[in-house]
A and B are shown apart, each in its own frame.
Chain A
Amino acid sequence: MIMAEDKVKIDQWVAKFPDPKGAVIMALRIMQDRHRWLSDDSINAVANYLNIAPVDVYEVVSFYSMYRRSPGGKHFVKICTSLSCCLAGAYDVIKYIEDKEGVSLNKLDPEAHITLQETECLGACQGAPVALVDDEKYHLDLTPDKINTLLQDLDLVEGVQ
């Protein structure tokens, strides 16, 4: 279930802690990066690999907001809706993307090209409104033009692994 190269990555995290359990947070992230979401099989494999009880892994998964328990679309576009971004029009940004892409906020559709989500303060408030794409790339000072470009670029690249 866990690919050899992912085991290498997980082992590097295990080495940072006196107790391998510390590595669970990153082991789950590595599995999610690989499969796009966390299935029961992935979670059980992490428990097995780190030699901890499955429940100890499930309770971690349900606590942290970056983990996904169902597959979303090919790309995740997260819009910050904390106060600074709200004051800069975050909900107008969401409306704009919903209308343009025909998607609904927070709807996880595996067939969709884009999954639009709202997220909490991304720590880039000077560049509000802010979007985070595929949990990796920040887009600041959003304008309709920037969003058009961002969405066009996502049409061109492959989905997250």
Chain B
Amino acid sequence: MDVAWKYQLPAIILSDRTLNDDSQSFVADEVPPLPRLSQKVWDGAAENDASGPAYTRYLTTEDGVSPLAFPGREGATVKVNTYTHDEHGISAEDPETTVKMQDKWARKGRALAEELDTLRQVNVYGDPKSARSVVTWGSPTGAMREVGELIGVRVVQPVVLWPFPARQLKQALVGSARVAVLEMNSTGQLAGLMERHGLNADVGILRYDGRPYGVGDLRRQVEKALA
């Protein structure tokens, strides 16, 4: 949430029915507090004058993030525009403004990726030293963690898929001789994303019959895939 607010972006949280219908116990006090990110909020210092409105919704900045204000804020005219626009939120069609704003989006994308890289985006479970690795995401992760501990396999779980955490994922897989990607879909979506970033898995474990994995069942599949 902090990241979404800081970069003023919609964040999409992927889930599935297994996770949504599932319940687990945990000790609330043992959940480590998340780091708080500083936010860029309009300081309200400037005033409207002859040169134009003081608040500039899409002010050009180094990291592409413009200070935030909501409608109702004293002195602010907040113009939110989904068409290509200038700094004030007025629609624009001239090539110079279009390029300038596209470059601003790109800077924001880079700043976002850099910030995310300072946070933990990839979890490692099971036996972190094992040369046999299973990369997985979403609902099979719980069963896979148990399997990893049972048979001594490295379990790698990216928790951010875009911007793709390529550096952290590569690091988590260092020393892996054989990599399987376990996914609950028929096309190998994560394996495809990994390929785009030069991470080629050896084998996919795909399940798409609408049923979740149990530990015994999954263990047999993993042993077969990593053999």
Q: Bound pair: A and B?
A: no
User: B interface vs A, CB < 8 Å?
Assistant: none
